[in-house]
Amino acid sequence: MSEPIPALPCYLNGEISTVRDAKVSVLDRGFIFGDGVYEVIPVYDGVMLRGREHFERLQRSMDEIRLENPHAVDEWLGLVDKLLAHHPGNQSVYIQVTRGVPTKRDHALPKGLTPTVFMMCYPLASPSREQVENGVACVTARDFRWEKCHIKSTSLLGNVLARQLSADVGATETILLRDGFLTEASASNVFVVKDGVVAAPPRDNLILLGITYDLLVRLAAEGTVKLEIRPIPEAELRAADEVWLTSSTKEVLAVTQLDGKPVGDGRPGAVFRRMHALYQEHKAGLRSRAVAA
Ligand SMILES: Cc1ncc(COP(=O)(O)O)c(C=O)c1O
């Protein structure tokens, strides 16, 4: 039996209601074609972590799919604050913009449509202490997605099917390899560590450039952790001392088992612990930085 839809707060085309009540047309191109883009922003104690950067990435995704952005970044930030007004604490904000509702189904882009703007928020599920302290298991798979993975598109069937491969065996993520090189995971970026040096795959069209990826690169530089951005061959992933996942909700998590084998000594490594501490410090300073701004 399916559970009732929760009364989570949402915003749809200017109206605040709940996800139980909000309704979208069946002709919406998001529903028919997956023709839309999205963002997920973590909010700690009412303050967005890198909200501006998320909306800048939304703009880049919209530019890539030739969708006109109905709002400037500051307007978006204001809309999120409005949605969050009665929902304090730690929240995830989901934002989706689709191309809107045409009068007929046709692949080619219709002119003059008003985009459908949808947002909802729900309690943020941060990684558990157990996950942080023991790490998580992942599996690998061939990256069978398309060549525009840099667009944060709602067309997620490739990612959904990739994620299910790990869900099927009770693992946290599916780490993807394309032509013998690491790309990312189904809903996270991936970093590897060897001999104390961190490596991350290039910022190209084969990965979604994570806001957390960028934050980690910055925190590593500030914390004098050595980090290189370059192609990572499969052999390097498999021989790594440490492997990490990053995303706005996973933060940074150590992968301690890959395809059933231990990564390094099978425990979260020293570089992970340093990076995790730098990330938590950054989060802890969010509110004071917001007040000072
Ligand atoms: C495919 C993919 N890569 C990477 C990420 C990490 O992005 P971010 O750090 O902006 O959450 C996500 C997040 O959902 C993702 O779906």
Listed residue (247, 254, 251) closest to 198, CA to CA: 254
| Tens of each residue's pLDDT in the chain, 293 residues | 578 888 899 999 999 999 999 999 999 999 999 999 999 999 999 999 999 999 999 999 999 999 999 999 999 999 999 999 988 899 999 999 999 999 999 999 999 999 999 999 999 999 999 999 999 999 999 999 999 999 999 999 999 999 999 999 999 999 999 999 999 999 999 999 999 999 999 999 999 999 999 999 999 999 999 999 999 999 999 999 999 999 999 999 999 999 999 999 999 999 999 999 999 999 999 878 777 77
Q: Which atom of ligand 1 is nearest to the CA of 54?
A: 10
Query: How remote is the CA of residue 186 from the centroid of ligand 1, in Å?
Result: 8
How far does the centroid of ligand 1 lie from the alpha carbon of residue 270, in Å?
A: 24
Half-sphere exposure at residue 48, Cβ-oriented, CA atoms within 13 angstroms: 24
Alpha-carbon distance of 92 to 191, in angstroms, equals 24
Active-site annotation holds for 283:
no
Nearest CA to ligand 1 atom 8: 210
58 Cα to the center of ligand 1, angstroms: 12
Residue to mutate (ligand 1; options 248, 249, 275, 279; most atoms within 8 A of CB): 248
Determine the Cα–Cα distance for residues 160 and 275; give it in Å rounded to an integer. Answer: 28
The per-residue pLDDT for 216 is 98
Pocket around ligand 1 at a 6 A CB cut-off: 40, 159, 184, 187-189, 208, 210-213, 246-248
Query: One of 152, 194, 261, 283 is an active-site residue; which one?
Result: 152
pLDDT value for 6: 86
Tokens of 123: 């309690």
Kindly give the number of the ligand 1 atom that is closest to the alpha carbon of 215.
Answer: 9
Q: State in Å: Cα 1 to ligand 1 middle.
A: 31
What is the pTM for the complete model shown?
0.97
pLDDT digits (tens, 9 = 90+) for 3-12: 888 889 999 9
What confidence score (pLDDT) does residue 62 get? 98
Phi, psi of 90, rounded to the nearest 5 degrees: -90, 125
pLDDT for res 88: 84
